[in-house]
Structure 1
Amino acid sequence: MARCSPFTALLETLFLTPLYGIIGLISLSLSEYIIVVSGRELQARLMGHDIYRATEFDLLPLNPNVSAHNPPHAVEAHLLALVRSHLYGGNFLFSYTWDLTRRLQAQSEKHENEAGKSLWEVADDRFFWNRFIQTRLIDLGTSDRNKDYGSYILPILFGTFDLRPVFLHGRHMQLCLISRRSRFRAGTRYFRRGIDRDGHVANFNETEQILLLEGQPAPGTLGSSEDKYTKLSFVQIRGSVPVFWSEINTLRYKPDLQIMDLPDTASAMRSHLTEQVEIYGEEALVNLVNHTGYEKPVKDAYERYVALLDLPKVRYEYFDFHNECREMRWDRISLLIDKVMEDLERHSYFSSNPNDPTSANFQKGVVRTNCMDNLDRTNVVQASLARWTLNRQLRELGILSPEGSIDDFEAVSKDFREMWADHADAIAKAYGGSGALKSDFTRTNKRTRKGLIEDGFKSTTRYLKNNFFDGAKQDGFDLVTGVWIPRKSPSSSLFLISDTRPLITRSMPAIASFSLFMICAGLTLPRSSDYSLFYYFMLWLTLFSMAFAFIIIHGIDYVAWPRLNPLTDIIYYNGPGFRSAHHGKGLKGKKDMGPKRARWLASGRLRNGPEEVELGPFKKRVD
């Protein structure tokens, strides 16, 4: 291995301490940093392969004059905090010997052509989460001179993994659930919606349910762990409605809904759906968005463009989830299963028997499910489709009778429900900020009043996080996935750590807080005279009311927006399309949407003039 680079020298010293993998190299304002896994937790052993979750991380600067724990500049400290927050806020999985990023069928189809290749060379680019920060090592590892660098490249999956033993009718099995989150258009609930011009959608997840049936290795084999299993796999996907749309936070519980009717919408949706057909085969689009009220414009836009494109191998199916399942009639999800049953039967599932390689069966299509967030309703439906398919697999294996179901076996049913509920919670926390709603149904097969109360608490948590914390979280996504690249000058990024809002805007929360304190003091502190407090309370109530009203009227100014890639073009979009309201923009509302009004949101761009690349209603920042 070459000894001339500081990277090589640093690696040689690192081997003196526990090191479980290199996530990649990230370049910030003052230094490049090697991100390493310094702690791991064994999740399970799948077909003889250990699956780990990264639990501890270290950032090691290549610049000897920079400390990662005590950075010399506030901007560098802020960027390091974003990286650490992203690493510790995600669920990152890896294996040294098995490709977590690809479903079993994809591995089987290309097995013969991938002999001798490293995991990073065959990983699915969509789910290779650290692909961007591994770019330097990949460039080095692909050259004949520095092939040794390739051994340091460890693909990381952002997703979920669960494996549970199952014993049914004398047969030992393992049930596994893996979700894979796409690194494209990644982010948080309200700051990443819809589609981009490249056809990538927000909150895209591939979910694979694997059933492993233990048996004897095939005659003549060495009896490896993989050889003793009959493998069955069923894959589903979810993703945001593939049109240009967004929800604009205004501090109100329900954001302003916005549909951007752009000339690129049809081509972007075509790119997205065509890619899914090329990867998975036929596609059944299951849409759970409400057909009335607030969500209706999203449903209408989706259906309009699906009908316009009329793509082969793509079939659209609408299910009015809230209407059909109202009054906690969750059993009526069976109506949707009836609607897509022909698709499920035709798509089938992947299966492979080591004793009879010629009997392999392949999944020929996929169900793509979405609601508004692709979280709660989507979780319930995907779990129901997975249960239906698991029953079908067990019946065709002869383990269940033709009319049997895993619901007849409480231990198996409980494991299945808990796996899907945990999976739903993890996806919801990553995107929405709290555990999944309606998870009581997934866990117990029943909707309960206790579950409704828990959902109220989760909804409140989501509101607080989505309005006041998700901006920094989105910045972490953009920094680690390469959507925003820092300049090598921290002074050009001071907008990241400064509040450029007008003084009156910044002062209102303090005025409201102090006024509320004075009101409470007047109510609780002992009185020193009999003088009436009427005018005292009138003064502070008036100040509090004025400050609170100002905050609500200018709600957009108090949302914690992303700073690396400001959403100014979306917030103040005034082109063709639909917008439910113009709350939070001041007394002038819709009229007050010019560049002066939004100047503080884009202060970093206006002052420093970084290059920007147009991406439909979005701009990719490349400082």
Structure 2
Amino acid sequence: MKPLHQRLHLYTEGDTYIFVPADDGVETQSLTIDRASGDIVLNRPNASSPNFGRRSHRTIYGIIGLISLSLSEYVIVITGRELKGRLMDHEIYRATDFDILPMNPNVSMDSQLHPVEAHLLALVRSHLLGGNFLFAYGWDITRRLQAQWQARDAAVHKALWEMADDRFFWNRFLQTRMIDASISTDQDLAKFILPIMYGTFDLRRTFVHGRHIDLCLISRRSRFRAGTRYFRRGIDHDGKVANFNETEQLLLIASPNVSAAQRLSEDQFATKLSFVQIRGSVPVFWAEVNTLRYKPDLQIMDLQETADAMKKHLQEQISNYGNQYLVNLVNKKGHELPVKEAYERYVAELNLPNVRYEYFDFHSECKKMRWDRISILVDILKDDLEKEGYFQLDASQEKPTKVQQGVVRTNCMDNLDRTNVVQATLAKHTLNRQLRDLGILPPTAGIDDYEGFAKEFREMWANHADAIATAYGGSGALKSDFTRTNKRTRKGALDDGLKSVLRYLKNNYFDGPRQDAFDLMTGNWIPRKNPTAASFLVTDSRPLIIRSVPVVASFSMFMICAGLTLPRSSDYSLFYYFMLWFTLFGFCLIFILLHGIDYVSWPRLIPATDVIYYSGPGFRSANHGKGLKDNFGLAKRSRWLGTARSRVGVDHGIELEDLKKRVD
């Protein structure tokens, strides 16, 4: 596989950016990006450094790509990195700092920008700084070990970006310009095109029975239907589901003659093993509509395309992983029941030969903190796990000893907390089997008999769960005390309560801009070259009465607090004063609750009006938050979200269609 440049020096000369590799290569070629025309040119080998260019004092560790906003196109580069570990002789990094370079010579990051441009740039920065972006220069972190081995011959003469898994190539949209330039011209930009992955990476080095072992956990988040907890649910018409993650557990066993003091290289591992699981939202058209209530309104859209979309999704998974074992953890009663029923109905209708459905009533089986009863699910899946196996590559063999032929796809409502617990349990079961098959553990032993090793395993899976939950739900994972300690505790339940409150606040009041950032960075929404056309992003178009009620409520609370400090001649002297302000405050709270939808932080780039005001066949648990019926016409005016959609609809549709042609 073609190597990438690991360090670049940036020169600004006139209206050009020049990226000069800091590598000591004989055939070193610099890259020039013309700020005026946008042309990307690979210079001749060993071209001299710019004579009059101003060199940046910061080292560039990779080019993430280019993004076009309303006033200018920008080059996004990595200026800070953190070494996360060394996997099979390859260094894995996390991007920690970034720089955004304007292409338009008339745009300066130091001057005051148009409010729309400043808002879009803020979305870009928040996404970069809030995500967990991983990359490597010589190893494809986007593909699991088995997929890398199967494509090893094709990878020899190809670039890293050409081999990257398209689902987990997070900056694929941002790299479109450079990839197009590399394909359409004779210049090879492969050394400058760095794929990054949104996910987690954790490597633990330990010993068991004198054998040196590397235990690694990698999660890869799909760039398709990406977003936040309540604003990306279910499936789309292309068969992509929300919160899709591939999780790979790698077990690397060193040769018996390798000492603890040696630094392991790839060829010193006697055996490499990989076990893969996946998670994803229930693959039907459904959503939960925020209304400021703790439990949002559940909405299931029973569309004619549902069966086709689910079939596309499952067939894609079968093509990628083999047989599918669908483990559904959604509750069988209460709020979640309609989602379970819809899932089961369409799975039964499709009746695909390589798909097996298994329901496990998590909350019922594990109630009263009987979390050990997850073993019931393991017993159910035990034979299938052994049949589908795992990937094993021995240094003494040319071909794999074992190949994983199927995968467990786990989901709950959010694919976070219950899913994390089950995936960690299945991973531990497989890890025990791998170590026993290799003769490292006795037939009756498990990793729980080796506290040091077991602790590393639990911490790794708990950190992995927290990272996925934070990216999608806004807080660390619930139930993580069980993953960390193998026990469910009252302290853990209290921590879960605090995390639930944090999720509620973030999901209702802060996730709109986060979702906008996902849509902007993955190319779901493309700005016009006219900031005035996107002025809705920085203005509040809600009716005046909607905007004024929180102000009145705040003022009422201020007057109540002020009244507590006023002198009084008797206990009843301020009775009417407090009655007035408490009544006004209560009226405001009731009004806000009745019109809860108008106080949620909704995405503005791609509004959710199709879901909020869906009136087709399906199920709706309630219609909260939309005001009283014909409440002075307010129910109709509360469709203020739709005005933003109409202003971007035409532009979005045309440009997105053109973009899909370029990206695909």
TM score, norm. by length of structure 2: 0.89
Deviations 1:289-331, CA, capped at 9 Å, x for gaps: 0001110000000000000000011000000000000000000
Tell me if structure 2 keeps the 8 A contact 1:195–1:241: yes
How far apart are the structure 1 equivalents of 2:141 and 2:647? 43
How far apart are the structure 1 equivalents of 2:459 and 2:293? 34
How far apart are the structure 2 equivalents of 1:385 and 1:593? 51
- How far the C-alpha of 1:116 sits from its partner, in A, is 2.0
Instruction: Name the SS for the 1:87 alignment partner.
Output: helix
| Residue 465 to residue 134, structure 1, CA distance change in 2 (3 Å) | same
How far apart are the structure 1 equivalents of 2:634 and 2:145? 50
Moved segments of 4+, more than 3 Å? 1-4, 6-17, 528-531, 589-594, 596-599, 605-609, 611-614
Deviations 1:525-563, CA, capped at 9 Å, x for gaps: 141655710110011011101111000000000000000
Structure 2 match to 1:548: 589
Tell me if structure 2 keeps the 8 A contact 1:233–1:350: yes
Tell me if structure 2 keeps the 8 A contact 1:289–1:372: yes
Structure 1 match to 2:227: 187
Letter of the 1:266 partner, please give it: A
Tell me if structure 2 keeps the 8 A contact 1:68–1:80: no
How far apart are the structure 1 equivalents of 2:55 and 2:451? 49
Structure 1 match to 2:196: 156
- How far the C-alpha of 1:91 sits from its partner, in A, is 0.3
Structure 1 match to 2:16: none
How far apart are the structure 1 equivalents of 2:652 and 2:68? 19
Letter of the 1:201 partner, please give it: V
- How far the C-alpha of 1:383 sits from its partner, in A, is 0.1
Comparing 223-232 with 343-352, greater Cα deviation is found at 223-232
| Residue 592 to residue 307, structure 1, CA distance change in 2 (3 Å) | farther
Tell me if structure 2 keeps the 8 A contact 1:90–1:430: yes
How far apart are the structure 2 equivalents of 1:571 and 1:64? 42
Tell me if structure 2 keeps the 8 A contact 1:195–1:240: yes
- How far the C-alpha of 1:603 sits from its partner, in A, is 2.1
How far apart are the structure 2 equivalents of 1:522 and 1:591? 33
Corresponding position: 1:374 with 2:415: yes
Corresponding position: 1:263 with 2:304: yes
Counterpart pick for 2:446 among 405, 409, 433? 405
Corresponding position: 1:48 with 2:89: yes
Corresponding position: 1:206 with 2:246: yes
- How far the C-alpha of 1:65 sits from its partner, in A, is 1.1
Letter of the 1:501 partner, please give it: R
Letter of the 1:20 partner, please give it: Y
Corresponding position: 1:385 with 2:422: no
- How far the C-alpha of 1:590 sits from its partner, in A, is 12
RMSD over equivalenced CA pairs, Å: 2.3
- How far the C-alpha of 1:582 sits from its partner, in A, is 0.5
Deviations 1:95-150, CA, capped at 9 Å, x for gaps: 01110000000000110121121111100000000000100000111234221x22
Comparing 310-319 with 338-347, greater Cα deviation is found at 338-347
Structure 1 match to 2:392: 351
TM score, norm. by length of structure 1: 0.94
| Residue 3 to residue 93, structure 1, CA distance change in 2 (3 Å) | closer
- How far the C-alpha of 1:521 sits from its partner, in A, is 1.4
Instruction: Name the SS for the 1:274 alignment partner.
Output: helix
How far apart are the structure 2 equivalents of 1:48 and 1:246? 44
Deviations 1:149-186, CA, capped at 9 Å, x for gaps: 22211000000000001200010010000000000000
Deviations 1:498-518, CA, capped at 9 Å, x for gaps: 000000000011111110111
Tell me if structure 2 keeps the 8 A contact 1:568–1:598: no
Structure 1 match to 2:169: 128
Question: After the TM superposition, which residues 2-17 of structure 1 pair with which residues of structure 2 at under 5 Å, given as runs?
Answer: 5-6=34-35, 17=58
Question: After the TM superposition, which residues 208-607 of structure 1 pair with which residues of structure 2 at under 5 Å, given as runs?
Answer: 208-215=248-255, 225-229=265-269, 230-523=271-564, 525-527=565-567, 532-588=573-629, 596-607=636-647
Percent identity between the aligned chains?
Answer: 66
- How far the C-alpha of 1:522 sits from its partner, in A, is 1.0
Tell me if structure 2 keeps the 8 A contact 1:582–1:589: no
Tell me if structure 1 keeps the 8 A contact 2:73–2:102: yes
Tell me if structure 1 keeps the 8 A contact 2:279–2:411: yes
Instruction: Name the SS for the 2:186 alignment partner.
Output: helix
Tell me if structure 1 keeps the 8 A contact 2:317–2:324: yes
Tell me if structure 2 keeps the 8 A contact 1:104–1:233: yes
Tell me if structure 2 keeps the 8 A contact 1:2–1:146: no
Letter of the 1:191 partner, please give it: F
How far apart are the structure 2 equivalents of 1:89 and 1:189? 15
Tell me if structure 2 keeps the 8 A contact 1:185–1:202: yes
Instruction: Name the SS for the 1:299 alignment partner.
Output: helix
- How far the C-alpha of 1:602 sits from its partner, in A, is 2.2
- How far the C-alpha of 1:228 sits from its partner, in A, is 1.8
Letter of the 1:5 partner, please give it: D
Structure 1 match to 2:126: 85
How far apart are the structure 2 equivalents of 1:580 and 1:505? 25
Comparing 598-607 with 284-293, greater Cα deviation is found at 598-607
Tell me if structure 2 keeps the 8 A contact 1:582–1:590: no
- How far the C-alpha of 1:25 sits from its partner, in A, is 0.2
Structure 2 match to 1:617: none
How far apart are the structure 1 equivalents of 2:649 and 2:517? 22
Comparing 469-478 with 223-232, greater Cα deviation is found at 223-232
Tell me if structure 1 keeps the 8 A contact 2:391–2:400: no
How far apart are the structure 2 equivalents of 1:83 and 1:419? 30
How far apart are the structure 2 equivalents of 1:590 and 1:296? 32
How far apart are the structure 2 equivalents of 1:163 and 1:326? 33
Tell me if structure 1 keeps the 8 A contact 2:626–2:638: no
Instruction: Name the SS for the 1:57 alignment partner.
Output: strand
How far apart are the structure 2 equivalents of 1:362 and 1:14? 50
Letter of the 2:478 partner, please give it: L
Corresponding position: 1:75 with 2:116: yes
| Residue 410 to residue 69, structure 1, CA distance change in 2 (3 Å) | farther
How far apart are the structure 2 equivalents of 1:468 and 1:60? 31
- How far the C-alpha of 1:591 sits from its partner, in A, is 13
- How far the C-alpha of 1:81 sits from its partner, in A, is 0.2
| Residue 494 to residue 364, structure 1, CA distance change in 2 (3 Å) | same
Tell me if structure 2 keeps the 8 A contact 1:91–1:158: yes
Instruction: Name the SS for the 2:399 alignment partner.
Output: helix
- How far the C-alpha of 1:605 sits from its partner, in A, is 3.2
- How far the C-alpha of 1:593 sits from its partner, in A, is 10
| Residue 224 to residue 110, structure 1, CA distance change in 2 (3 Å) | farther
| Residue 173 to residue 130, structure 1, CA distance change in 2 (3 Å) | same
Instruction: Name the SS for the 2:640 alignment partner.
Output: coil
Deviations 1:242-271, CA, capped at 9 Å, x for gaps: 000000000000000010000100000000
Q: Unpaired segments of 5 or more residues in structure 1?
A: 615-619
Instruction: Name the SS for the 1:601 alignment partner.
Output: helix
Instruction: Name the SS for the 1:142 alignment partner.
Output: helix
- How far the C-alpha of 1:580 sits from its partner, in A, is 0.4
Q: Unpaired segments of 5 or more residues in structure 2?
A: 1-29, 44-49, 655-659
Instruction: Name the SS for the 1:60 alignment partner.
Output: strand
How far apart are the structure 2 equivalents of 1:201 and 1:173? 35
Deviations 1:24-63, CA, capped at 9 Å, x for gaps: 0000000000000011100001111010000001100011
